[in-house]
Each structure stands twice: as structure tokens, then as C-alpha cells.
Amino acid sequence: MTPKTKEQIAKIRTRSKDKILMAALDLFAKKGYHNTSVSAIARHAGISKGLIYNYYDSKEELLKGVIEMLMEDSSEFFLATQKEDPNEALRSLFVLLKNYLIEKRGLYRLAVSLSVQEEVGKFEFLKDIIEEKFQGFLTVFESLMTKKGVKNAKGEALLLGALFDGISLQYTFSEKYPLEEVIDFLIEKYCK
């Protein structure tokens, strides 16, 4: 009865969706959401425009798909924070940040470029997600700082939060940013 098995179809769908998501991520990150056309995504993915609408109802839904994909695997970060020794935990976080920036270049760029827009109600959901993540990090930083016994743990936590974002932004911006050097210095300064 069934000409293609459900598994076959599912595999095809997954593969196509992935192609689309990767192409979209790539272009959104490089050129920004508004400056990326659906045609360009299709071309980049090597498929037809129409197919995109087979999987996503609109360009905006596609964006949501991209963001969801990106949000999936941030578990590592919170694993790192479970370490007993706060110095070790911080060292892990710094290294994770470095690897994350290197491996997912463009992702941070995308997050920033989307958040930076004020269109009410359209990317609002993204702001919420980021705000939540940020508060999570802040809490972790503060408890680590408390463990380390610093005077103003909350203030230090805020600075660390700003540092993470500042480093990410500058690395994303400039090809020449001395990421390794900065991370090493952070470890030396914070982890002993």
C-alpha cells in the first residue's frame, strides 16, 4: 500500500530540513535576517524556494527553527558549573566559551543581530530566551564567586557576565581578536 515507508519519508524530511536550517543559519548569521532572502537560502541549500515552505510556514518560522536548533545543546555549560572547586568550574566555563565561539562562529553574531532589532512582538521571544540564559549565568557566577569568598560576589558576577558578552562580541567582530590570549589571562586571573 505504502509506496515509501514512513522511515524513508522521515529520513528525507530530516535531511531536507537540515539542509534548509544550515543554509538559513549561515546566511542569517552572515548577512542578518532582513538582508537574507528566501531565494538566497534556497540557492545556498541547493533546493527550490518552494521546498522551504514545505517545511516552514514562513520566513519567520524558519528563523524560529534556526534558533531552536541553536538552543538545543547548551547542557555542557551547566554541567561545567557542577564542579566542586569554583576555580575548576570557572576554568571549564572559560574554556567552553572559547570552544563555543570557535566552533559556532556566526551563531553569536546571529543572536546579537536579531536581538538588536526592536520590532515589537517579532523577535521578542528571542529576547526572552536570552534574558533567561543570561540570568542563569549570573546566578552561577554569583554562587561561584561566593564560594571563592570574594567581597562583592554580585558585582563580580555582573562583571563576568559583561566579560563573556564583550569577548564574544569582539571575537565575532574582528578576525584578529586574540581570543586564546584573553582566555588564558582570564584563567590566570580568576582561577587560583
3-class SS at 153? helix
Q: Give the span between the Cα atoms of 45 and 19, in whole angstroms.
A: 6
**Residue 5 interacts with a second copy (CB under 8 A): yes or no:** no
Cβ–Cβ < 8 Å for 107, 70: yes
Instruction: Tell me the C-alpha distance between 80 and 96, whole Å.
Output: 8
- 26 counts as binding a second copy under rule CB under 8 A: no
2 in contact with DNA (CB under 7 A): yes
Using CB under 8 A, which of the segments 9-17, 93-101, 140-148, 168-176 binds a second copy? Answer: 168-176
127 forms part of the interface with a second copy (CB under 8 A):
yes
Closer by beta carbon to DNA, 9 or else 79: 9
Minimum CB separation from a second copy for residue 156, in Å? 8
12 by Cβ neighbours in 10 Å (0-12 / 13-18 / 19+) ranks as exposed
The answer to whether residue 18 forms part of the interface with DNA (CB under 7 A) is no
**Cα(117)–Cα(126) distance, integer angstroms:** 11
Site size for a second copy (CB under 8 A): 41
Residue span 37-76 as binding mask against DNA, x where in contact by CB under 7 A, dash where not: xxx-------xxxxx-xx--xxxx----------------
User: What is d(CA 157, CA 136) in angstroms, rounded to the nearest whole number?
Assistant: 11
Q: Is 29 exposed, middle or buried (0-12, 13-18, 19+ CB in 10 A)?
A: buried
Question: From the list a second copy, DNA, none, which binds 11 (C-beta under 5 to 8 Å, kind-based)?
Answer: none
Binding site for a second copy (CB under 8 A): 30-32, 34-35, 109, 112-113, 115-119, 127, 130-131, 134, 152, 155-156, 158-159, 161-167, 169-170, 172-174, 178, 181-182, 185-186, 188-189
